[in-house]
Chains A and B, each alone.
Chain A
Amino acid sequence: MSARNIFTRPARLAAIAPWLWMLLFFLVPFGFVLKISLSQTAIAQPPYVPVFDLTQGAAAVKAALAALSLDNFKLLVSDDLYVLSYLRSLVVAAVSTSILLLIGYPVAYGMARLPQRWQGVAMMLVIVPFWTSFLIRIYAWINILQHDGLLNKILLALHLVSAPVVWLSTDSAMYLGIVYSYLPFMILPLYATLAKMEPALLEAASDLGSSPRQAFWLVTFPLSLPGVAAGVLLCFIPIVGEFVIPDLLAGSDSLMIGQTLWLEFFTNKDWPVASAAAVVLLLLLVVPLILYDRLQRRQLEQAR
């Protein structure tokens, strides 16, 4: 065996590993979901038909294949409930991401301009909430926002309101929860791009006649766009499929697609419709996911 082969064999294995991972933990489960989405609900175990049974021979499998249909997808398109859920998910994600950008950008900008030794401290402060379970932090917000919660107590004590305000189970509470939870995902990529920006570029801009405001819009902001895109996609994609925060903090009059999916699956026991909803959600998110992937690739190439 030549020396070259000794090194290439593990290298090839390493290259296959991520594909294997994707196949086992993404593609195969997705195949199951896709198959269930093409099935019909049934009172049985599992609660749908047809079921592939390879022991029954090729004819049975062929019959099962013939029984698959797109009925569930037709239902998703025709029923307002699902269309509205998808729309609400997209709107909530878009609004939340905008708020996150408006808050996150100034914070990241401020962090990047701190003296070097304080930047580490600021970074810790952004990350520290992760040390507490996400669910516990959302429950803490319920405590703060509820009828006799901390927020109402403070408002009453300051005589800003005369009676307790309803915070919980409103869209405001949901947006608060989402923005609170996702803020680090917006700040960190923005901070990363802003911190590595050469200060001499701003000096050059000012030397060439730009006021500080012009220098920001002509140099800092355009150069931070990769960070903006990364932050926006990193927040937008998971918020679209968000379930826990709207379920705990928002009212029940309009649902995000994650909640609808949960209802179909657990309450209605309609696995096929829930699966179809999941497949459509995935297709919706493929566009921003591809965008994100491209962006990361381009940054990697630039870094080379």
Chain B
Amino acid sequence: MNTVANQQQEVQKEDSMLLQKAMISANYDALATAHEDGKKISSTFVPGNLNELLMCFDLVRNLPEINALQAGMRKKSGGYIMEAERSGHSEDVCTYVKSDLGMMAKGQVGPNGKPLPTPDVLLLSYTGCFTFMKWFELVRDEYDCETAMLHVPYQADGKITDNMRQFVVMQLKEHVIPTLERVSGIKFDIDRLREYLKESAKAEEDLVWVLQSAKNRPSPIDAYFGGVYYCGPIFTAFRGTKDTTAYYGALRQEVAERIEQGLGPVTPEGTLEEERIRLVVEGPPNWTHFRDFWKMFYDEGAVVVASSYTKVGGVYDFGFRHDPEHPIETLADYCLGCYTNHSLPDRVSMLCNYMDEYSADGFLVNSIKSCNSFSAGQLLMLREIEERTGKPAGFIETDLVDPRYFSPANVKNRLESYFQMIEQKKAHGEARTAA
């Protein structure tokens, strides 16, 4: 059954998506000419990215995972990965890493077809993914560039203590900021940081409002397939900019209109007409077959109402906002609070909370074959969430950007089985209630 409103050939996009596309494109252009324009480039990762801080030094921001996922969506990652494997990286290594290394080996051309110059500084804020450290070691070895490493303590007990915060603040003050000053030649200005943080907080407020709009029935958004677009600017090179504040303002407006009209999410084939299943999803999406993957959901009327992946670049929905009054401390709190820095019990509680607050019918894990740090423990989480919520859980396996790891028939088969299992259980529950 196709549950979308129209079957136009042209892919349907929201206005905010077009706005975002222009922002991404402008950033890749800025990266391509950065050195000619006399600017320095920083590379950094999404979880725990210190975008506002980097902007204080006029650094152009490059995010290697985003390059890898863009390469995945543009069907280039397969070739890059094979290139990396040829130079000795094993099949089990994170495919973001291999895509990036393969892209470097093949001449460093960015997703827009323009050159991606060598970074001047690598800022690694370590927030739970061990692979990131190894990744930057390889990149540093290749480029011989400056590295600033920020150690972020793991939230093993599920809370941020003052000691943890002070440890991060100390590193920011004594190591990260001086390194960025040295590389950029620009003196740190805390008031400039405050201004960026003010913009961040505004945008974060709107992002949270948009993500929480999925509590409506029907949900006006898909918080996974649409959600990865919605969190894009805040998670990457744009948090703290006025463009980003404007983007989230426009997005909020769009979503508010959809709620008013009682509309479901926009899919590539138009508005979803009938919301049949509400899901909470754990794990990143597959990028190489992103649209085919999404279609497997919307064709069955399945809408994702909350996802953990839209929290990897910052968890905002439990109250955290960047605070311009405490600029350095707030950066520490942001890094400490990233989803990847949370313990398994914390992740379970968060997901159970989503199941309840978003009135989900089921919980689904998309386990990533080559991501050992994120995928470890997901089956245990699944069992626990299933037990605590009494809702059916499903499990599928794909990969981030290795096209060889996406088996459409297998994934579709499991998803269809899972959706039918949810509907069968719902029907049975309703019949029992009626009796």
A and B together in one complex = no
